[in-house]
Amino acid sequence: MEPVYRDQDPVYRGGLGRCALCFWLAVVFDLVGLLVLLVGVFVNVFFYDLLVYAGAIVVFLSLIWWVFWYSGNIEVPPAELEDDVGLLKRDRAGLGALGGLVRRISSRVSSGIRTSFRRTGGGPTGGQRPAGGPPGTPQQQVAVAMATVTPQEDVRVSCDVEMPHTTTETSPA
């Protein structure tokens, strides 16, 4: 359903919310999983255990769609989102000196991490220095000698394996 806007707030009609597709996928997964599970329980086939397990797995996978539907329909007023996305107005902050201190420390730590990735070449594995060395240590080249190996002529492998003699005992029945 398309949202109907009243005073810049979307109002969704239909009762399913914004994520109707996730809702219907969850319902279909539940129905198919339950149907397969019940067929495995009540129909006399030789692969009933496969049907029971498959039905249970499909019902479990429907939980993913239920979580998507539920989390997609959570309503959060824009006033509560302002602080989370960095749009907090200075006059409404109300955090005092402690909040400003925490915000400054957080920004310094995150910028320090960001610049350390830039210095090392983009990430923990893409560094420009050898592993374990301090920053500023020049890279060392390692020479590896390689030789060409030719196959040997007249190599024969014997597959004759002798098995030990074993006896089997049977119980009188």
pLDDT tens across 131-167, in order?
Answer: 555 666 666 778 787 777 777 766 566 667 677 777 7
Average pLDDT rounded to a whole number, residues 63-75? 93
Side chain identity, residue 151: P
Q: How many domains does the chain have?
A: 1
Position 127 in a domain: no
pTM check: above 0.85: no
Radius of gyration of the chain (CA): 33
Q: Which structural domain range is residue 26 located in? A: 4-76
Do the domain assignments include residue 117? no
Give domain status of residue 21, yes or no: yes
Given a cut of 80, whether residue 115 has pLDDT beyond it is yes
pLDDT exceeds 60 at position 2: no
Q: Is residue 71 assigned to a domain?
A: yes
Domain assignment present for residue 22? The answer is yes
97-114 pLDDT, tens per residue? 777 788 888 888 888 888
Tell me the percentage of the chain whose pLDDT exceeds 70: 65
Give the number of other Cβ atoms within 10 Å of residue 55's Cβ. Answer: 20
Identify the pLDDT of residue 55. Answer: 97
The pLDDT assigned to 59 comes to 97
Domain annotation covers residue 113:
no
Q: Using a CB cutoff of 8 Å and minimum separation of 24, what contacts does 122-131 make?
A: none
Instruction: Tell me what pLDDT residue 27 has.
Output: 97
Say if 149 falls within a structural domain: no
What average pLDDT does the chain have? Answer: 77
37 in any annotated domain: yes
